[in-house]
Structure 1
């Protein structure tokens, strides 16, 4: 009877530990051990035709893999100096970025036409270290025309 009871406990504990192990693997955080990660930064400055910074411009980035498939989309806004910067950590390879600039605040800072940039100009800004593959930066400065 004792051997039968130990088998049941063994199977039960194996099942519980298996479920707990799989549930701890779910999430967006990169694994610290054994999973290569890379940082991608897109940054720049948005000005009008007279080089005056524009605040509140929506900057929507679409990062694409080597097969031109969209792998990450993100949106931020320019600050008071017309600058924007976003860092994305991932487990994927980015080949290019399509960045769209849109004036979404109405006439608050003037009305500007939308613009789009596609760039493959990645600059390595941090070196590789173990599983960390480094940091790559896209710089996208844009002048917007008034409507």
Structure 2
């Protein structure tokens, strides 16, 4: 047989436990004490670059996607395409600080004339363009130049 717990005792215990939780986060005004905070470090990135063929000719309409490197799922932003000069620029996206080394930029030719390629964000030229505060480590501009190779023709 189940024992019925009163609503009053449930509220008392909930209040007591809440007080314990808040009390553990106080600093007691000790200058050496670091206050506890809740959050996750973040980093912002703006990705830009140029895609050419092996001879240096700009490639138009190459699909550019920023994804997580280890499982290939979409993390942020829309798929973008290179312009007639082979240039692309992705809007700023934010990732947790722990995932910044896992970001990868993929280059795909939907016409299959050129082989797909990719580069890790950490292997691109990174320049800090905005300082961060708190959990934010700021915003970086990631720049790359990619040369795509011709795809082998199927017979």
Name the TM-score class by shorter chain.
0.5 to 0.7
Mapped to 2, the partners of 1:57 and 1:45 lie a distance apart of 10
Moved over 4 A (4+): 35-38, 68-71, 129-133
Whether contact under 8 Å (1:37, 1:89) holds in the other structure is no
Mapped to 2, the partners of 1:99 and 1:91 lie a distance apart of 14
> Mapping of 1:76-95 within 5 angstroms?
76-90=80-94, 92-93=96-97, 94-95=100-101
> Mapping of 1:2-81 within 5 angstroms?
38-63=43-68, 72-74=75-77, 75-81=79-85
TM-score of the superposition, structure 2-length normalised?
0.55
TM-score of the superposition, structure 1-length normalised?
0.58
- Residue 138 of structure 1: SS of its match in structure 2? strand
Bigger-Rg structure (1/2): 2
- Which structure has more strand as a fraction of its residues? 1
Aligned length: 107
List alignment gaps of at least 5 residues for structure 2: 1-39
RMSD of the alignment, in Å? 2.9
Mapped to 1, the partners of 2:103 and 2:45 lie a distance apart of 10
